[in-house]
């Protein structure tokens, strides 16, 4: 599942390999994959003849700016199974819960460069999408670099479960299911608590662990490399204290936590 560390790897790949190459054409065979009223002819006309100038990321949204002063920004969302490929190389080796295979029928969107290379989105389950000039202001601050004040503002006075609020992209961008469970486990916080009910010390602890979790998982190679993950299954026990983990749906997502040290 591409979470922030995977999309950051895609950003790095695009930044290293896709910039300053003239776009010759665009293949957008899957109308479902084009979001916000976009169609294949419009996205092809918008990008053809341009070059990407910068690869940026806000949360799980990858942004590719184009040249010409008024060039559009291409926005790529990777959903549950999306991978970015440039000239046949992938940004990550593999993703949890999906195939590593590279099949032509999973090419949902392809930018062909004049030099013969291409940038592609492979997405077996088609839950990602392509946007033109996405509304960047709809996303909260990026979770990898959010400040303590930014996290405090994201939690606000919300009565939503803490985990749900962390994953709400309009308040904080980039936290997915695995990072949320890992960060809350490390911080010793129950994912069901009202988000606005944390003490100042708990918000500081969450901030520290959230940043460290994202940095660790990025270094280790992806969102599936957490300490909790191998135990996130029936019969799994907390790797810190051995307590059997509890599973429930929180914020619409399968959630695992330790009833002993997360409170």
What residues are annotated to the active site? 2-3, 60, 253
Contact between residue 165 and residue 155 where contact means Cβ atoms under 8 Å apart: yes
Nearest approach in angstroms of CB 56 to Zn ion is: 37
Instruction: Give CA 114 to chain center in angstroms.
Output: 29
- For residue 194, the tally of other CB atoms under 10 A from its CB is 14
Q: Which is nearer to Zn ion, 152 or 240 (CB)?
A: 240
What is the distance between the alpha carbons of residues 1 and 230, in angstroms, rounded to a whole number?
A: 15
- Phi, psi (rounded to 5 degrees) for 132: -115, 130
CB of 178 to Zn ion, least distance (A): 17
Residue 147 C-beta: closest distance to Zn ion, Å: 28
Q: Are the C-beta atoms of residues 194 and 159 closer than 8 Å to each other?
A: yes
Whether 139 and 45 have beta carbons less than 8 Å apart is answered as no
Q: Which is nearer to Zn ion, 146 or 258 (CB)?
A: 258
Of residues 130 and 238, the one with the C-beta less far from Zn ion: 238
Nearer Cβ to Zn ion, position 70 or 241?
241
Q: What is the distance between the alpha carbons of residues 193 and 125, in angstroms, rounded to a whole number?
A: 32
**Beta carbon of residue 228, minimum distance to Zn ion (angstroms, whole number):** 9
Residues forming contacts to Zn ion in the complex (CB under 5 A) are 238, 240-241, 258, 260-261
């Amino acid at each position: 599942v591409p979470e922030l560390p995977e999309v950051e790897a895609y950003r790095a790949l695009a930044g290293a390999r896709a910039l300053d190459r003239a776009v010759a054409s665009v293949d957008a065979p899957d109308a479902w994959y084009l979001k916000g009223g976009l169609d294949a002819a419009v996205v092809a006309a918008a990008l053809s003849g341009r070059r990407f100038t910068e690869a940026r990321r806000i949360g799980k949204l990858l942004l590719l700016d184009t040249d010409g002063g008024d060039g559009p920004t291409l926005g790529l969302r990777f959903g549950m199974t999306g991978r970015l490929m440039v000239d046949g190389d992938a940004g990550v080796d593999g993703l949890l819960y999906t195939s590593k295979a590279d099949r032509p029928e999973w090419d949902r969107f392809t930018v062909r460069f004049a030099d013969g290379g291409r940038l592609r989105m492979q997405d077996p389950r088609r839950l990602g999408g392509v946007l033109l000039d996405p509304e960047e202001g709809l996303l909260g601050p990026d979770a990898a670099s959010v400040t303590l004040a930014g996290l405090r503002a994201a939690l606000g006075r919300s009565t939503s479960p803490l985990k749900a609020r962390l994953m709400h992209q309009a308040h904080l961008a980039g936290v997915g299911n695995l990072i949320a469970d890992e960060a809350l486990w490390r911080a010793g916080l129950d994912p069901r608590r009202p988000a606005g009910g944390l003490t100042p010390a708990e918000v500081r602890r969450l901030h520290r662990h959230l940043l460290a979790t994202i940095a660790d998982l990025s270094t280790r190679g992806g969102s599936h490399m957490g300490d909790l993950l191998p135990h996130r299954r029936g019969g799994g026990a907390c790797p810190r204290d051995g307590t059997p983990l509890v599973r429930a749906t929180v914020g619409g997502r399968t959630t695992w936590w330790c009833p002993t040290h997360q409170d």
